Structure 1
Amino acid sequence: MTAAMESSHKVIVLAAGGTGGHIFPAEALARELLARGRAVTLVTDRRGHAFGDSLPEVPVHRIRAASPGSGILGKLTAALQMGLGLLEARALLRRLGPAAVVGFGGYPSVPTVYAAAHAKIPALLHEQNAVLGRANRMLIAGAKRLAVAFTGVTRIDEADRAKIVRTGNPVRPAIAARRDASYAAPVGDGPVHLLVMGGSQGARIFSDIVPQALVRLPEALRARVHLSQQCRPEDLEAARQALAPLGLGGLELQSFFRDVPDRLAACHLAVTRAGASTIAELTCVGRPAILVPYPHATDDHQTANARQLAEAGAAWLVAQPDFTAQTLAERLTGLLAEPGALAAAAAAAHRWGSADAAASLADAVLSMLNTRDASANGTHHLDADTIAKGAAE
């Protein structure tokens, strides 16, 4: 059996945990690799979620991991958990003998990817944001490839830029299925479908600002607006009371939308945060957006995400301190008076996005296995002190 044939029979380990922003791309890659006949297993931390009933054939292994705590005790505890997780990951990889490890960022991925680098198992990192995340910064020296969703990702040393391949950020199959949904900007007296989301359960600032902005619109324009808005459960009733008297063309408020793909395809304009998954979904479908980055995101990565879309002509970036009722009212009035601007932004978003990121990511993983070089796993190797230091920072 040749080395290539032997590798094709080995499992590919996906290391992911924490938020859905890390788990969703891992699940999409797992689905793609399984379709290509590759065995896949997920390694996550003890709080991480499995892929669920949709992929019951993917085994799940849980190891210890922790994000840096606050204070000396918290940092020492995190470092200890990382150290124990590293021992567990090393034992697991020795038992599995994988062909490769793919890390999706977040501290739950650190022990497994580090153990792979130490064992000279090819490792690929996937970065969903426009700023290389802290976990991936700890691991990049030992990785052979870095798959990115954005161009010009920051916080990467020049020596590691040769490892970059742009694959995009995988989206859910239901979103990918809307890739070819056409966009027609609102014209004349026709309805305007406005979609407002802020993460899985909305953002309080949107519940506060959107009603105040809509009341400032001319009455005829308000009557055209069909608003679909996610609100935090505790904000839902107050938002309803503020919006119901405004004479909108339509109003639907929920704490969680289970039909986001349909709502994205139907909307003329979205008002959202700028997380990586949100950006991937907006651009896959090709919808213009007013992006209000969450200002407390790590390394302010949401602003970096939004800036790239704004520079591409696909969105309008409004920093949260500038996101006032008057600003939003003026922005809505101006955009809805220029359907050509909305159509141009929708086209730019569609050009930027992709429905094939999972396939591109699988290509990158398998290509890495077919291009083994003398360094085997990048040009540098991590040491245990790096992991302990990173967990304590």
Structure 2
Amino acid sequence: MKIVISGGGTGGHIYPALALIKEIKRHEPDSQVLYIGTVRGLEADLVPKEGIPFKSVYITGFKRSLSFENVKTIVRFIKAARRARKLIKQFAPDAVVGTGGYVCGPVVYAASSLRIPTLIHEQNVIPGLTNKFLSRYATRIAVSFGGSSAYFPREKTVITGNPRATEVAMADRRAGLLSLGIPQGKKHVLIVGGSRGARAINDAVLNLIPQLPGYPDYHFIYVTGDVHYKKVMTVIEEQGKIPDNITVRPFIYNMPEVLAGTDLIVNRAGASFLAEITSLGLPSILIPSPYVTNNHQEKNARWLEEQGAASVILETELTSERLLDEIDSILSDSGKDAGMRKAARSLGQPEAAELVYKELKTITGT
């Protein structure tokens, strides 16, 4: 099988694409994949590191308000679609897959114009503008949540879950901790602010670091995001000796393995992340980003909270004291911890990548 995959901007669009590629390779080791993204997106860094051929197009997203910039974006879309069409014709794929982000727009549209089977994957309950636009051209629409189906043509739409869930569910717990040099025998708390980090979460964590020696049974893994790392480390060093029970990293490339070795996760509430933690049955403290379209992160977070799988702290309510108290209240209460794990696991979809792969096989007739 030859597949073109496109997805970009944030890890929430890229990681499901990478997980699907691994699933395709697991079934068909000789398959060929070409990834089309943008040079400015996170995919330009992550995809080549996985040894996957990468090509780029230049495109920007639409503004939701009336703006002359949207006229420029239309021109860029047309140019990007022409380049994508050329790349696709050269590669001659059996199908083209879009996993979200505005780069998928010209790529999937170009494939459709060439009458190549296409599949788009929607991670969030509320779809983004790009996938809403592409839904009229796509051969198949795969969604992570049943609630997304109402936004798409029923005859094209299937509920598969998020492919990232499969990759994380199969990860090696011990390998993740060893890769970071983290000691065994403690309860591990992973704190991440999304693929690029989050200032509000960083500020709260910086204020609680001096208190960490008082929690020797916990080891904290703190991922700052590349753009925040230097500033964060400067502040930590100014505080004095770095506590022994914290590991600070700008970014983690083997996140599935590290997640598998985690006992509690603190993060935003992006859809791919929720797929990851539910596939592992991890309790979580969710701090939804208030800066996303349609406030979908808070809706995602509240859904998990209602099921008993997560605790939610809004960014406006976030303090170091509140965060540390919430962490301790979960990890120090075995009944609460076990209940959240059971609830999270009941929501997981570890077979998601397999289901998306089967849909690809269906639309290509192979």
Common topology (TM > 0.5):
yes
In the alignment, which residue of structure 1 is the partner of 2:112? 117
Partners of 1:192 and 1:226 within 8 A in 2: yes
SS of 1:267's equivalent? coil
- Residue type of the alignment partner of 1:99: D
Please point out which of 166, 170, 174 is paired with 1:176: 170
Please point out which of 49, 68, 85 is paired with 2:62: 68
Separation of aligned partners in 1, 2:15 and 2:257: 19
In the alignment, which residue of structure 2 is the partner of 1:108? 103
Q: Aligned in 2, Cα 1:119/1:196: closer, same or farther, shift over 3 Å?
A: same
Matched, 1:344 2:339: yes
In the alignment, which residue of structure 1 is the partner of 2:51? 55
Alignment of 1:145-184 (within 5 A): 145-153=140-148, 156-157=151-152, 159-160=153-154, 163-170=157-164, 173=167, 176-178=170-172
In the alignment, which residue of structure 2 is the partner of 1:382? none
Partners of 1:201 and 1:230 within 8 A in 2: no
**Structure 1 spans left out of the alignment, 5+ residues:** 1-7, 182-189, 372-393
Q: Aligned in 2, Cα 1:339/1:242: closer, same or farther, shift over 3 Å?
A: farther
- Residue type of the alignment partner of 1:41: L
SS of 1:152's equivalent? helix
- Residue type of the alignment partner of 1:365: L
SS of 1:65's equivalent? coil
Please point out which of 264, 268, 273 is paired with 1:269: 264
Deviation, 1:366, is 0.9
In the alignment, which residue of structure 1 is the partner of 2:182? none
Deviation, 1:275, is 2.2
- Cα displacement string for residues 155-207 of structure 1 (whole angstroms, at most 9, x for unaligned residues): 715x44751222323258576323899xxxxxxxx954322111245432223
Partners of 1:212 and 1:325 within 8 A in 2: yes
Separation of aligned partners in 2, 1:263 and 1:244: 25
Matched, 1:13 2:7: no
- Cα displacement string for residues 93-118 of structure 1 (whole angstroms, at most 9, x for unaligned residues): 44554332211111111112112333
Alignment of 1:249-268 (within 5 A): 250-257=245-252, 260-268=255-263
Alignment of 1:1-393 (within 5 A): 11-35=2-26, 36=28, 37-47=30-40, 49=44, 51-52=47-48, 54-56=50-52, 58=53, 60-68=54-62, 72-153=67-148, 156-157=151-152, 159-160=153-154, 163-170=157-164, 173=167, 176-178=170-172, 191-200=186-195, 202-210=197-205, 212=207, 222-231=215-224, 232-233=228-229, 234-239=231-236, 241-242=238-239, 250-257=245-252, 260-370=255-365
Separation of aligned partners in 2, 1:256 and 1:99: 34
- Cα displacement string for residues 8-44 of structure 1 (whole angstroms, at most 9, x for unaligned residues): 6xx3322223333323222332233244244332233
Partners of 1:132 and 1:154 within 8 A in 2: no
Partners of 1:291 and 1:318 within 8 A in 2: yes
Pairwise CA RMSD of aligned residues?
3.4
Separation of aligned partners in 2, 1:68 and 1:42: 22
In the alignment, which residue of structure 2 is the partner of 1:388? none
Deviation, 1:86, is 2.1
Number of residues of Structure 1 aligned to a counterpart in Structure 2: 347
SS of 1:21's equivalent? helix
Partners of 2:286 and 2:312 within 8 A in 1: yes
Deviation, 1:215, is 7.2
- Cα displacement string for residues 214-255 of structure 1 (whole angstroms, at most 9, x for unaligned residues): 7789x9x6343332222332122324555858xx77232333
Separation of aligned partners in 1, 2:109 and 2:156: 20
**Structure 2 spans left out of the alignment, 5+ residues:** 176-184
- Cα displacement string for residues 351-371 of structure 1 (whole angstroms, at most 9, x for unaligned residues): 323444332221111122339
Q: Aligned in 2, Cα 1:13/1:254: closer, same or farther, shift over 3 Å?
A: closer
Partners of 2:7 and 2:14 within 8 A in 1: yes
Identity %: 31
Q: Aligned in 2, Cα 1:244/1:293: closer, same or farther, shift over 3 Å?
A: farther
Q: Aligned in 2, Cα 1:356/1:334: closer, same or farther, shift over 3 Å?
A: same
Q: Aligned in 2, Cα 1:224/1:206: closer, same or farther, shift over 3 Å?
A: same
Separation of aligned partners in 1, 2:137 and 2:74: 19
Partners of 2:4 and 2:95 within 8 A in 1: yes
Where relative contact order (Cα < 8 A, 6+ residues apart) is larger, the structure is 1
Partners of 1:131 and 1:155 within 8 A in 2: no
SS of 2:51's equivalent? coil
SS of 1:141's equivalent? coil
Partners of 1:290 and 1:318 within 8 A in 2: yes
| 323-332 or 225-234, which deviates more | 323-332
Deviation, 1:322, is 1.9
> TM-score, normalization: structure 2?
0.80
